[in-house]
Amino acid sequence: MTAVRRRLLSAIAALALVASMTVAGATTALAAPYCGITWGSQAKDQLIPGYGFVVGIRGGQQDCFDRLVFDIASPGAGGYFVNYVDEVTTDGSGEVVPVRGGAKLQVVARNRSWGDDGQLTLHPDSWTELVDVTGWRTFRQVTWAGTFEGDTTVGLGVRARLPFRAFTITDPGGRGRLVVDVAHSW
């Protein structure tokens, strides 16, 4: 092989390397997080015991995620534990709770769902369809999984294992909320 030919092949190889680096950089730029979401899909927890009562569970659809909200009567929201599981189970008995969806989140609010009189503080129309999520992009089912030793558990069926976040807020009147958002995409 002549020296000219070697130089030509080296130049072509160098150009190919530069071109591949440019394409790789463009691909990385295109792979920005969906809606800026960087939540991940690992367990989320806040281990603060709650003293308020769960009085409502509702949901909402946003542009980038579906939202589940636990309404907590004063004195505010406690902690939570939210995790993807193979099967949602009830606390205490460990009984499997059927949940529709490609993935399942077990959502535990560190607040009870019965008052000091022993009566339930939550009165949904349906225990297996706490929130009507028919036609939602991400949620498939919100179902009751029980209340035990000061915790309230809900099964949240979602389309697939997607990023989620969980957090609590307390309004100026002392009522709290546990919020769980699940992204529509990665």
- Domain spans of the chain, in order of start: 3-31, 44-183
Q: Which residues pair with 120 in a beta bridge?
A: 114
> pTM for this one?
0.82
Share above pLDDT 70 across residues of the chain, in percent, rounded to a whole number: 83
What is the pLDDT averaged over residues 74-94? 91
Cβ pair 105, 180 in contact under 8 A = yes
Average the pLDDT over each of 135-139, 141-145, 165-169, 172-176 and give the range with the smallest value.
Answer: 172-176
Rounded to the nearest 10 degrees, how much is the dihedral formed by the CA atoms of 36, 167, 47, 100? -80
Residue written as token pair 């569970």? 57
Average the pLDDT over each of 31-35, 39-43, 81-85, 167-171 and give the range with the smallest value.
Answer: 31-35
| pLDDT: which is higher, 92 or 182 | 182
Is the pLDDT at 8 greater than 70, yes or no?
no
Q: Which one, of 132, 168, 165, lies nearest residue 65 by Cα?
A: 165
Assigned fold of 44-183: Immunoglobulin-like (2.60.40)
Give the pLDDT score at 9.
52
Q: Mean pLDDT over all residues of the chain?
A: 88
Report how far residue 186's alpha carbon sits from residue 182's, in angstroms, rounded to the nearest whole number. 10
pLDDT, one tens digit per residue, over 51-83 is: 889 999 999 999 999 999 999 997 778 899 999
What H or E segment, with its residue span, contains residue 65?
A: strand 65-72
Q: Which tokens belong to 45?
A: 């927890």
What is the pLDDT averaged over residues 101-110? 97
Q: State the pLDDT confidence band at 147, using cuts at 50, 70 and 90.
A: very high
- Give the chain's length: 186
Distances (CA, A) of 75 to 31, 61, 68, 86: 43, 27, 20, 33
Q: State the pLDDT confidence band at 22, using cuts at 50, 70 and 90.
A: very low
The identity of residue 103, as a single letter, is A
Q: State the pLDDT confidence band at 49, using cuts at 50, 70 and 90.
A: confident
Give the pLDDT score at 31.
66
Give the pLDDT score at 23.
45
**HSE on the CB side for 63, CA within 13 Å?**
4
Sign of CA dihedral 49, 53, 57, 60: negative
* CB crowding 146-162: b at 16 or more within 10 Å, else e: bbeebbbbbbbbbbeeb
Report how far residue 109's alpha carbon sits from residue 68's, in angstroms, rounded to the nearest whole number. 12
